[in-house]
Structure formats: structure tokens, C-alpha cells
């Protein structure tokens, strides 16, 4: 019989407000005199005895705060957990496998233990083999992996033959932990000679003397990667190393991370941008399970097969279907809308912002279309969006008729105590089916904004923006912190919004696959970051992609099975053919 686990979200459990431990009064096992649901008087939370629970589901349905989940683990799962955080808390099965000379990727949904797995490898969490009351001897942890590649790795870890360096996911926390310049931070962690090399490879020179508190998100990401490498190690762990970076920087970072792997060094990476994950890694562990409840790590696969299996939702070797449907990022035919109806147009624009000069060629946006915006960081994308939103005025040139604009900014910082339900009231009243349900916002209703994770805050902010009464929606980096499945859901929600409400959506993003799937047309920014930027377009997709990719110097092909875009190896037959035909974008 499949093992059953109960998960209680401590943050959502409010016994005083539900009628004094309501669930204890409703549980049929409790009514027989047994103590299936107990009350923890110290923590003032409910607790469920998983051995006594029959899985009737009454408590999950009746808890007014949706604090309880009762889950049957997959029948095929024979192993015990490698770690459980506590009673009725998240549990993790197995670990990803670092291999010397290789870059191993980890791919999976948010909230299923990817960062926990990295923290175990990084020795930040000591695995307890499912028994949270004791700390088992490390020999028992090694025995868990007997006969696998992991056994040898853990034996070396125990003998201190492996030194680790770990880049955490949230680089935005660095300014809270360090005051000083980028140079001072990096000098603290690495030798001067290595520093010079890393600064050059990661292109940090322009902001070495900038205080950490003043660098942008993308710069902070590069500083965090530099610090990780400068610490020196033979196992590097990178948790989402490309968030906040533009595509050019993502490719540069991918090459840099790949170059770290050699016979004495292993690299493990968590990444949600599938084109970049494909480019950066040799092998892949897929993680699947249920958000906030449990996570299982698959066996190692080649990156190509692994990504295809993930999209398909089926692991052949393990014979496990972990998702009912395929994820398809394949573009449908270009939309034929009849005669386009213009919404807003602009004549040639210019704007000087400090030392930065922004120019925009004349262009227009139509109703019921989604226009993707591509370009490097610091090249004027956000400033252009702010001009359309009327937040800044151009120096020369005109933006035509005024339209109502709703804007989601790139950085979402909030220390607010406001409840999610309060924040998105308008969406709940008007767009429950279109926005709240597909983006799974109900689960967060009783949380405060300041308690949300990066991915949760992103979804809430998208919902807030899209629920406004506007004709033009501007979304700046909506894919940041979202996993692959959430990116697909967001794409569908945006598509439906444009169709149903006959509105226009502008999307700035650096995930090429996401933008390729979502957009009807493309705007391309060219120029030199922090000095000058020129807006061109909107173009038809193929034309815009060709312009952007030719400047970037990469060609894309489609994977034969999944049809997803993949970067061609520079100099490969396909790469040379496509360059010759000037087809940088697969057709
Ligand atoms: Fe009340 Fe729900 Fe907590 Fe049970 S889990 S005590 S019903 S809030
Ligand atoms: Fe009790 Fe389990 Fe039923 Fe909940 S699911 S009411 S804990 S038996």
C-alpha cells in the first residue's frame, strides 16, 4: 500500500480563529477515542498521526485556512526519505548526483525540494533520513545510497576530500549582509590573482568600486557567482545562476560555469530557463512531487533526454508518470486577426537619462496582440515602458493618444503586512476564473505579502497588474522566479487576456522560449548598455528573432522530438548552414 503523509502548513493553521482546533472535532478517527489529530499546545498548531489517519479527507476540506494536505505517495516509491523537516512537514527522497568533470542540472517545479537538496550537498542541512527527532550518523546516510554513484561521493564528502562552494538563489539578500563595494567583497573571499581573471571573464570591471547596495539585480547575480568561484572548491553548486541576467549574459555565464567542470571539479546547477539549462549542462536529475509536501529525485539522464522527459511528464526508466499532460512550448501558426486595429503609436522618440541616450524608431501597437521585447540589460527597455506608461516624458517626439496603462515592474520588493486576498480583491471579484484559479492564488490568500516566496510574489503581482482596468499591459520580466510549468500557465493567462478583453500586452523577458511561445511580434533593442539604446520594431517574429540572434551570434534549431528551441553548437553543421542561409531563428 502506498505510504500516506500529512502536511500541515504552520503559517496557515490558526486554531483560535477556526473554532478551537476544528479539525480535531471533525476527524472520524478522533471520534473513536484515538488521537489522530492532536493539538500541540506549545506551538498552538494541529498535528496529525500519519499511522492513524485513514485519508478520509474531511479535515482538508473543512479547515477554513486550507492548512492541511493528506497525500498518498506514489506506489512505485520504495525508498525512505533522505530528509524530513519535521512532523507533518516536507520530505525529500534521494539527492542529485554531482559527477567530476560534468555539469549536472536539476530541473523541477518550485517548492519540491531543489534548494533543500543543494543545501544537503552543501552541508548546510544535515540529512535525518526522515527521523527529525534524531541526527543519524553520516555512515547511515552513506548506506542509504549503497551501490550508487552517490555512495562514493558521500564517502569522499565524509573524509573531507570534497570542498564546496554554494551560490544561493536569493542574491537580493547580499546587500543586507554586506556593506562595502563589490571589490571589497570579492577581495575578502578570493586571492588577488584569481580575482583579476574572474572579473574579466564575468565582466565586472565597470562596477567594481560601486557599493553593493547600489548595484542592479543582474550585477549582483554576477558578483554572487564570482564570490562562489573565488572561494575555491571542487564542488560548485549554483541555485538559479541566471535570474536577472539578459540573454547575452546568460550565455556568457553558461560558458563560464561549463569551464569550471574538470576531472577534479564537479558542478551542480538549478535552472528554469530551458534553453540555457540545455546549453549549460551535460546531465540532468529531474525532481518531481507535490509543492510543499514531498520531492523525489530521478536517476541521472542526459540533458537532452532529461528535458524531453520533463516536458512529457514521464520517466521511462523509472516508469513514472508525474504529470498528466505534456508541456508544449511549440508556437502555433502566426495569428491572423484580419485588419489590425491600432491602439497606440509613437513618432521617433528620444530621451536623455543621465549619460544614457535612448532613441526609438517610430512604431505602433495593435489591439489584441502580445509584443515581446528583447534586448540587453541597461539598454532602455524599462525606460521606454515608463514613457508609454506616462511615468517619464520624452525629450523629443510624441506618444500618440493616451491609453490606460497597467504596469508590473521588474523588481518586486515588499515588506507589506497586507494579506494576499486584500491585495488582489479586484481580481477575485472580476477575474476569478481567468486569473485567480489558473495561477493558483487561493492557496496564498491568508499569507501576508512579506511572507511570499519570489515565485509566489511574482504570480500575485502579475494577477494584480492584469486585473486592472487598462488597455495596455506592461509586464517587466514576468518569468523571473517562476518554474517551467508556471511560465507556461502565465503565457496562457496572458494570451487569454489579450483575446477576451481585446487589449495589448508588452512583455519584457530574457527567457527566449517563453517569449517565443507567447509573442505575436517582437521589439528589439540594440546599442551599448548604460550608454545608448535604440528601439526597433515591432517586427514579425522571424524577422525580429533573426535581427536579435544575429547580433547575439547564436543560431537556434528545433529539437526533433519535443520541438523546443535549442542553441546550435558554434561551428556545427547546423550552425554553419543556418548562418549561411541567414536563418538564425529556426522556422
Ligand atoms: Fe484549525 Fe485548520 Fe489549524 Fe485544524 S489545521 S486547527 S482546522 S486552522
Ligand atoms: Fe482524520 Fe485523516 Fe480524515 Fe483528516 S484525513 S479527518 S486526519 S482521518
pLDDT tens by residue, 481-533:
899 999 989 999 999 988 899 999 999 999 998 998 899 999 999 999 889 99
pLDDT at 432 over 60: yes
Q: How far is the CA of 451 from the centre of ligand 1 (A)?
A: 19
Q: Are 549 and 566 in contact (CB under 8 A)?
A: no
DSSP secondary structure, 192-220, as one string: HHHHHHHHHHTT-GGGTTSBGGGS-HHHH
Q: How far is the CA of 113 from the centre of ligand 2 (A)?
A: 25
Pick the CATH number of 86-163+251-326 from 3.40.50.300, 3.40.47.10, 3.40.630.30, 3.20.20.140: 3.40.50.300
Closest CA to 552 of 273, 292, 264, 246: 246
Q: How far is the CA of 32 from the centre of ligand 2 (A)?
A: 12
Pocket perturbation via mutation, ligand 2, pick of 30, 50, 56, 60 by most ligand atoms within 8 A of CB: 56
Q: How far is the CA of 62 from the centre of ligand 2 (A)?
A: 11
**Could you report the per-residue pLDDT of 77-105, keeping only the tens digit for each?**
888 899 999 999 999 999 998 999 999 99
Query: pLDDT over 70 for what percent of the chain?
Result: 98
Confidence grade of residue 454 (pLDDT, cut at 50, 70, 90): confident
Closest CA to 457 of 511, 409, 412: 412
Closest CA to 518 of 340, 237, 330: 330
- What per-residue confidence (pLDDT) applies to 539? 94
Classify each residue of 176-191 as buried b or exposed e, where b means 16 or more C-beta atoms within 10 Å of its C-beta: eebeebbeebbeebbe
The grid coordinates listed for 134 are 534524531
15 lines ligand 1 (CB under 6 A): yes
Q: How far is the CA of 532 from the centre of ligand 2 (A)?
A: 62
DSSP secondary structure, 129-185, as one string: TT-TTS---HHHHHHHTTTSHHHHHHHHHHTT---EEEE-S-GGGHHHH--SBHHHH
Give CA torsion, residues 196, 256, 411, 291, to 10 deg. Answer: -140
Q: How far is the CA of 31 from the centre of ligand 2 (A)?
A: 11
pLDDT at 286 over 70: yes
Pocket perturbation via mutation, ligand 2, pick of 22, 38, 57 by most ligand atoms within 8 A of CB: 57
Calpha distance 508→473 (Å, rounded): 11
Q: How far is the CA of 385 from the centre of ligand 1 (A)?
A: 45
pLDDT at 47 over 90: yes
Calpha distance 219→238 (Å, rounded): 16
Mean pLDDT of 46-64: 95
The grid coordinates listed for 455 are 515565485
- What per-residue confidence (pLDDT) applies to 549? 92
Instruction: Spell out the CATH class of 4-72.
Output: alpha beta
Mean pLDDT of 147-176: 86
Ligand 2 atom closest to the CA of 26, numbered from 1: 6
Lowest mean pLDDT among 176-180, 285-289, 298-302: 176-180
Closest CA to 289 of 446, 126, 117: 117
CA atoms within 13 A of residue 159's CA, in its CB half-sphere? 6
59 lines ligand 2 (CB under 6 A): yes
46 lines ligand 1 (CB under 6 A): yes
The grid coordinates listed for 15 are 486554531
The grid coordinates listed for 97 are 548526483
Q: How far is the CA of 443 from the centre of ligand 2 (A)?
A: 20
pLDDT at 43 over 80: no
CA atoms within 13 A of residue 185's CA, in its CB half-sphere? 27
77 lines ligand 1 (CB under 6 A): no
Closest residue by CA, ligand 1 atom 8 = 13
The per-residue pLDDT of the chain, averaged, comes to 90
Mean pLDDT of 467-494: 91
Confidence grade of residue 36 (pLDDT, cut at 50, 70, 90): very high
54 lines ligand 2 (CB under 6 A): yes
36 lines ligand 2 (CB under 6 A): yes
The grid coordinates listed for 139 are 555512515
Q: What is the CATH number of domain 333-540?
A: 3.40.50.300
Q: What is the CA radius of gyration of the chain?
A: 25
pLDDT at 362 over 90: yes
pLDDT at 337 over 60: no
Mean pLDDT of 298-325: 92
For CATH 3.40.50.300, list the domain ranges present in the chain.
86-163+251-326, 333-540
27 lines ligand 2 (CB under 6 A): yes
**Could you report the per-residue pLDDT of 366-404, keeping only the tens digit for each?**
999 999 999 988 888 888 888 887 888 999 998 887 788
Calpha distance 456→210 (Å, rounded): 31
Calpha distance 577→376 (Å, rounded): 26
- What per-residue confidence (pLDDT) applies to 519? 93
DSSP secondary structure, 59-127, as one string: HHHH-TT--EEEEEPPTT--SPPSEE-STTS-EEES-----TT-EEEEEE-TTSSHHHHHHHHTTSS--
Q: Quickly tell me which residue has 500586452 as its cell.
A: 505
Q: How far is the CA of 237 from the centre of ligand 2 (A)?
A: 40
CA 573 to chain CA mean position, Å: 33
pLDDT at 336 over 60: no
Closest CA to 190 of 234, 228, 163, 220: 228
47 lines ligand 1 (CB under 6 A): no
**Could you report the per-residue pLDDT of 107-153, keeping only the tens digit for each?**
999 889 988 898 888 888 889 999 988 888 888 989 988 988 889 88
- What per-residue confidence (pLDDT) applies to 356? 92
Q: How far is the CA of 88 from the centre of ligand 2 (A)?
A: 13
Q: Are 387 and 399 in contact (CB under 8 A)?
A: yes
Contacts of 178 (CB under 8 A, 6+ apart): 185, 212
**Could you report the per-residue pLDDT of 552-580, keeping only the tens digit for each?**
889 999 888 888 889 998 889 999 999 99
- Among positive and negative, which fits the CA dihedral 255, 329, 115, 264? negative
77 lines ligand 2 (CB under 6 A): no
H/E stretch holding 493:
helix 484-501
Pocket perturbation via mutation, ligand 2, pick of 18, 48, 87 by most ligand atoms within 8 A of CB: 48
- What per-residue confidence (pLDDT) applies to 6? 96
89 lines ligand 1 (CB under 6 A): no
pLDDT at 410 over 80: no
For CATH 3.30.70.20, list the domain ranges present in the chain.
4-72
Ligand at shortest distance from the CA of 31: 2
Measured between its terminal Cα atoms, the distance across the chain in Å is: 49
pLDDT at 3 over 90: no
Confidence grade of residue 171 (pLDDT, cut at 50, 70, 90): confident
Confidence grade of residue 229 (pLDDT, cut at 50, 70, 90): very high
Mean pLDDT of 333-337: 54
pLDDT at 424 over 90: yes
pLDDT at 188 over 60: yes
Amino acid at each position: 500500500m502506498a505510504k500516506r503523509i500529512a502536511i500541515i502548513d504552520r503559517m496557515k493553521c490558526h486554531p483560535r480563529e477556526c473554532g478551537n482546533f476544528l479539525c480535531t472535532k471533525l476527524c472520524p478517527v478522533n471520534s473513536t477515542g484515538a488521537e489522530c489529530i492532536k493539538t500541540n499546545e506549545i506551538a498552538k498548531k494541529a498535528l496529525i498521526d500519519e499511522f492513524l489517519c485513514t485519508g478520509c479527507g474531511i479535515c482538508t476540506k473543512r479547515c477554513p485556512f486550507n492548512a492541511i494536505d493528506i497525500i498518498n505517495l506514489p506506489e512505485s516509491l520504495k525508498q525512505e526519505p533522505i530528509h524530513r523537516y519535521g512532523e507533518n512537514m516536507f520530505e525529500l527522497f534521494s539527492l542529485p548526483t554531482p559527477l567530476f568533470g560534468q555539469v549536472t542540472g536539476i530541473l523541477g517545479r518550485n517548492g519540491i525540494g531543489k534548494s533543500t537538496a543543494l543545501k544537503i550537498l552543501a552541508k548546510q542541512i544535515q540529512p535525518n533520513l526522515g527521523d527529525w527527532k534524531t541526527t543519524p550518523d553520516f555512515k547511515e546516510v552513506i548506506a542509504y545510497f549503497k551501490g550508487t554513484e552517490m555512495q562514493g561521493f558521500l564517502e569522499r564528502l565524509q573524509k573531507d576530500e570534497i570542498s564546496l562552494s554554494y551560490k544561493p538563489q536569493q542574491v537580493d539578500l547580499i546587500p543586507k549582509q554586506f556593506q562595502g563595494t563589490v571589490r571589497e567583497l570579492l577581495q575578502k573571499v578570493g586571492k588577488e590573482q584569481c580575482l583579476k581573471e574572474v572579473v574579466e571573464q564575468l565582466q565586472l570591471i565597470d562596477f567594481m568600486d560601486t557599493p553593493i547596495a547600489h548595484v542592479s539585480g543582474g550585477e549582483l547575480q554576477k558578483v554572487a557567482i564570482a564570490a562562489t568561484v573565488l572561494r575555491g572548491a571542487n564542488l560548485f553548486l549554483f541555485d538559479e545562476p541566471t535570474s536577472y541576467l539578459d540573454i547575452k549574459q546568460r550565455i556568457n555565464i553558461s560558458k563560464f560555469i561549463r569551464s569550471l567542470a574538470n576531472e577534479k571539479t564537479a558542478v551542480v546547477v538549478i535552472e528554469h530557463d530551458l534553453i540555457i539549462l540545455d546549453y549549460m549542462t551535460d546531465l540532468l536529475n529531474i525532481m518531481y512531487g507535490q509543492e510543499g509536501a514531498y520531492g523525489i529525485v530521478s536517476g541521472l539522464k542526459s540533458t537532452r533526454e532529461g528535458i524531453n522527459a520533463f516536458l512529457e511528464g514521464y520517466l521511462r526508466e523509472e516508469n513514472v508518470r508525474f504529470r498528466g499532460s505534456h508541456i508544449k512550448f511549440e508556437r502555433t501558426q502566426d495569428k491572423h486577426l484580419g485588419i489590425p486595429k491600432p491602439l497606440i503609436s509613437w513618432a521617433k522618440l528620444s530621451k536623455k537619462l543621465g549619460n544614457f541616450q535612448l532613441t526609438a524608431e517610430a512604431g505602433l501597437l495593435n489591439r489584441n496582440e502580445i509584443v515581446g521585447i528583447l534586448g540587453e540589460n541597461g539598454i532602455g527597455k524599462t525606460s521606454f515602458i515608463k514613457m508609454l506608461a506616462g511615468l517619464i516624458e520624452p525629450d523629443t517626439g510624441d506618444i500618440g493618444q493616451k491609453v490606460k496603462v497597467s504596469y508590473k515592474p521588474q523588481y518586486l520588493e515588499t515588506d507589506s503586512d497586507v494579506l494576499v486576498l486584500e491585495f488582489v480583491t479586484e481580481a477575485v471579484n472580476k477575474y476569478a476564473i481567468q486569473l485567480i484559479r489558473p495561477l493558483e492564488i487561493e492557496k496564498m490568500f491568508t499569507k501576508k505579502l512579506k511572507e511570499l516566496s519570489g515565485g509566489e510574489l511574482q504570480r500575485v503581482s502579475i494577477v494584480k497588474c492584469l486585473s486592472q482596468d487598462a488597455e495596455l499591459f506592461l509586464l517587466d520580466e514576468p518569468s523571473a522566479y517562476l518554474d517551467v510549468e508556471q511560465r507556461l500557465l502565465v503565457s496562457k493567462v496572458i494570451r487569454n487576456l489579450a483575446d477576451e478583453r481585446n487589449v495589448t500586452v508588452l512583455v519584457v523577458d530574457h527567457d527566449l522560449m517563453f517569449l517565443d511561445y507567447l509573442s505575436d511580434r517582437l521589439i528589439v533593442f540594440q546599442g551599448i548598455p548604460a550608454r545608448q539604446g535604440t528601439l526597433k520594431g515591432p517586427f514579425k517574429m522571424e524577422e525580429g528573432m533573426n535581427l536579435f540572434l544575429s547580433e547575439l551570434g547564436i543560431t537556434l534549431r528545433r529539437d526533433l522530438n519535443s520541438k523546443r528551441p535549442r542553441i546550435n553548437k558554434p561551428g556545427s553543421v547546423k550552425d554553419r548552414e543556418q548562418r549561411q542561409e541567414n536563418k538564425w531563428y529556426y522556422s
